[in-house]
Amino acid sequence: MKTASPFLELDSVERVELSFNGELLHLPDGSNLAAALLASGVDAFRKTPVSGAPRAPFCMMGACFDCLVEIDGVVQQACMLEVRAGLEIMSPDTTGAFDEPA
């Protein structure tokens, strides 16, 4: 999932720790979450519920819904969120298995 980043970051901003699918990442505080995940080398944000195909940000402006991630049990657009310390980010669950009640 995480490779050498195909992106270059120009700014050097203080970084904070958060996790994506359990992996710890250090991303620029207050920056756009989708951009920061891409720049850190995250390739696929999720798999589609229809075919299981990998997806990553496409429009970066809140229109396409390809950058969906799950935070605190709510599926939301990474490109509309900002990096905060301690975020636990998951790819949305699309396995179709029976979900255990919390």
Which tokens belong to 5? 């980043």
Indicate which single residue of 23, 49, 85, 88 sits in contact with other proteins (rule: CB under 8 A). Answer: 49
Residue closest to 20 by CA, chosen among 94, 97, 83, 87: 87
Residue closest to 27 by CA, chosen among 80, 94, 84: 84
Residue closest to 68 by CA, chosen among 59, 60, 77, 79: 77
Indicate which single residue of 20, 31, 89, 91 sits in contact with other proteins (rule: CB under 8 A). Answer: 31
Min separation Cβ 19 and other proteins, Å: 19
Interface with other proteins, residue 82, by CB under 8 A: yes
Query: Where along the sequence are the contacts to other proteins (CB under 8 A)?
Result: 6-11, 28, 31-32, 35-36, 38-39, 43-45, 48-51, 53-66, 68, 72-76, 80, 82, 93-102
